[in-house]
Chains A and B, each alone.
Chain A
Amino acid sequence: MKSFTYTITDPVGIHARPAGLLVKAAKAFAGAEITVSKGDKSAKATQLMKLMGLGIKGGDQVTVSVSGGDEEAAAAAMEDFFQNNL
């Protein structure tokens, strides 16, 4: 398993649009299970509603963990995605 933490810089956080983009990015790695967590709440990166339900705002620290096939590539892609979009 690989994981990284990231502090959200976009003040509005993970709302509908970035959540949708994140799901899209995550679905590219069908073999890997990607989880986004904030505090004790977590959601799979492929579940749009659950992601939005985390209520992640700017300044929040999130942990993204990846396990399963392709985890190196998936984790790198996720890190890229967070840095570019959030």
Chain B
Amino acid sequence: MDYRTCAQEIFRHVGGRENLVSAAHCATRLRLVIADNSKLDMKALEEIDGVKGVFSNAGQLQLILGTGTVNKVYDEFLAVSGMTAATKEEVKAAAAARQPLPKRMVKALGDVFVPILPAIVASGLIMGLLEGLCKAFPGLADSGTYTIFHLFSNAAFVFLPILVAVSSARVFGGNIFLGAVIGMIMIHTDLVNAWSVADYVASGTPIPTADVWFGLFNINLTGYQGHVIPVIIAVWIMCQIEKRLHKVVPEMLDLFITPLVTVCATGYLTLTVFGPVFSTLENWVLEGVQMLITIPFGIGAALMGAIYPLTVVCGVHHMYNVIEAGMLSSVGLNTWMPIASAANFAQGAACLAVALKTRERKTKALALPSAMSAALGITEPAIFGVNLRLVKPLVAGMIGGAAGSVVGSMFHIGATAYGVTGLFGFLTTTDYIVPYAIELAVSFVVAFAVSWFLYKEKAPEAAAPQTEDAPTLTCQPGVVYCPIQGKVIPMEEIPDDTFAAGVLGEGCGIEPAAGRVVAPFDGEVTTVAESKHAIGLSSPDGMELLIHVGINTVELDGKGFTLHCAEGDQVKAGQPLLDFDLDVIRQGGYSTTTAVLVTNSEDLGPVSVHTGDQFPLTPILTVNACVQAD
């Protein structure tokens, strides 16, 4: 069918633009809010090719078009009628666009990283311990135990781009498996491992190249091991391509064409455009830092110590092995290592300050092992998991790194090898034990102190006026009061087809800002899911309400949920019913969007929704029938 013709036909029979208040769509229906129903030509609407059914319900005209079709007709309808879009993506995008760009980027980075942190923390700790033990007991490196544990320690790092790609695809709304493929392409074994590039350069072996864009230029076939930002950018591009294709490709061909074109286009762009741009940037950084550290009086070292973590964020730090190898072969002493070590140790110290100062259990549990891992020289968990997200600790770490680097430069500390930093660095700086200790101490103290001073915890999220004594609120019949602090969104925008389509009843979604559910009216608790994520209530005026925390959270089986009520309890509006841990839900990879649905709305009639940011106990839903009945 022709989506545009269908949209034009619909538009022709709804009484013109001035009769249209708003347009939206759910999984199967185009929902139009109509000013005057008498101007509708229902007969003609029913006969339009592609329209499977039409009915009008309380000012809302619903046209059943079917899954996969409705969104395309909707897009055409907006164009035909000249209305502006209000789909969930666009509303979200509009809301997000209000934040400044750097903030959005840091948030995206955090969203990508938080779910994969457990993997990185585990690997980081194993790797740090193993490398240290090996330097202490040289025989260990030849043992089978080492071989096996070494495998565990670097698996997450070797394949980090895949983890990052999957997580990014989820954050940016693409197919996570296509995301994984992009990640795999970027570290494919046919490409030279990024960590081996230094060896190639040192030994003078040419890096294999391939001609691209029909011989326009050649690219180096090097992988992206250890990279984070390029992977996120590549997957972001992939998601844009994929989403665009879903819109333009006819649905019958969607499954053939979209993945094929998405992978080919993204992969080729990544390796041929991205790769060269990135490796050029990398070389500039490399040349830049080499010039930087020649600035005398410790100034160069201080600057380098400060910007070091930023280069880790960008993923260019593995190139430093080239510098270190060069130093060792020319003067026999690696004076780069003390800078890297100060920078890493300082990030750990800044992270530790957060761990000790925070009152949030989650942050503490994350920051402590991350700080330990950083002390052993593996800083990714501390930087990506804690410091970068909170920004101030990162700055504190940079200041500490600069201070430590100055000390290192003053004492002319040099290491006899490369690859180890932090506490285990002592093993390669045996001629400078005391200076190295002073350097680490300075980095630690400065970073810790600055981080402690700068990092201030925001007031706990749940600090909304929630005194334990029952709030005095006289409930209006037919009104559902907000059970969770957060942003109320229309039901159609709940990221789940079943809820969005109203299969469980009409209502709204809430994007929670705090993890507490309070009673939405005076009434009775009728059901509590065994997995504690959903509560059913009934009100004296006949409403049945389902509060379903998160999407698919039944799979958490109660983890992160604490109940404060039981089936059969009589509750007063505002009384706490359930506490839930937003981080546990997010880390499990679930959406925290909570559905608040009047499950018997089919019998009661239309429900009106008050969207926007709401505090507990502001009215969010009104069931007209119940109001009138009273």
Residue contact B567 to A48, C-beta cutoff 8 Å: no
Q: Smallest Cβ distance from A24 to chain B, in angstroms? A: 5
Q: CA–CA, A17 to B530, complex, Å?
A: 14
Q: With A20-B498, A20-B503, A21-B498 as known contacts, state yes or no: A57 contacts B548, CB within 8 Å.
A: no
Contact residues in A for B254 (Cβ distance below 8 Å): none
A44 at interface (Cβ–Cβ under 8 A)? no
Contact residues in B for A16 (Cβ distance below 8 Å): 504, 529, 534, 546, 548, 554, 595
The contact string, 1 if C-beta is below 8 Å from chain A, for chain B 94-121, is 0000000000000000000000000000
Residue contact B503 to A52, C-beta cutoff 8 Å: no
Q: CA–CA, A21 to B602, complex, Å?
A: 14
Q: CA–CA, A17 to B548, complex, Å?
A: 10
- State which of A21, A27, A48, A52 has its C-beta within 8 Å of the C-beta of B529: A52
Q: CA–CA, A33 to B609, complex, Å?
A: 33
- Report the interface size class on chain B: 20 to 34
Contact residues in A for B430 (Cβ distance below 8 Å): none
Dominant secondary structure at the B interface: mixed
- Size of the A side of the interface (Cβ < 8 Å), in residues, is 17
Residue contact B546 to A15, C-beta cutoff 8 Å: no
Contact residues in B for A52 (Cβ distance below 8 Å): 527, 529, 534, 536, 546
The contact string, 1 if C-beta is below 8 Å from chain B, for chain A 53-73, is 101010000000000000000
A49 at interface (Cβ–Cβ under 8 A)? yes
Residue contact B504 to A48, C-beta cutoff 8 Å: yes
- State which of B544, B554, B555 has its C-beta within 8 Å of the C-beta of A48: B544
- Interface members, chain B 521-541 (any A CB < 8 Å): 526-527, 529-531, 534, 536, 538
Central interface residue in A15, A23, A55, by most chain B CB within 10 Å: A15
Q: CA–CA, A17 to B531, complex, Å?
A: 14
A12 at interface (Cβ–Cβ under 8 A)? yes
Central interface residue in A12, A49, A50, A57, by most chain B CB within 10 Å: A49
Dominant secondary structure at the A interface: helix
Contact residues in A for B544 (Cβ distance below 8 Å): 48-49
Q: CA–CA, A27 to B504, complex, Å?
A: 12
Q: CA–CA, A23 to B544, complex, Å?
A: 14
Residue contact B536 to A12, C-beta cutoff 8 Å: no
Residue contact A48 to B599, C-beta cutoff 8 Å: yes
Residue contact A24 to B599, C-beta cutoff 8 Å: no
B505 at interface (Cβ–Cβ under 8 A)? yes
Listed in ascending order, the chain A residues whose CB lies under 8 Å from chain B are 12, 15-17, 19-21, 23-24, 27, 48-50, 52-53, 55, 57
In order of increasing CB-CB distance, the 10 nearest A-B pairs are A20-B504, A53-B527, A49-B536, A15-B554, A48-B599, A20-B503, A12-B554, A17-B498, A52-B527, A49-B526
**27 A–B contacts, CB within 8 A, in A order:** A12-B531, A12-B554, A12-B555, A16-B504, A16-B534, A16-B548, A16-B554, A17-B496, A17-B498, A17-B499, A20-B505, A23-B503, A23-B504, A48-B505, A48-B536, A48-B599, A48-B600, A49-B526, A49-B536, A49-B544, A49-B546, A49-B599, A50-B526, A52-B546, A53-B527, A53-B567, A55-B529
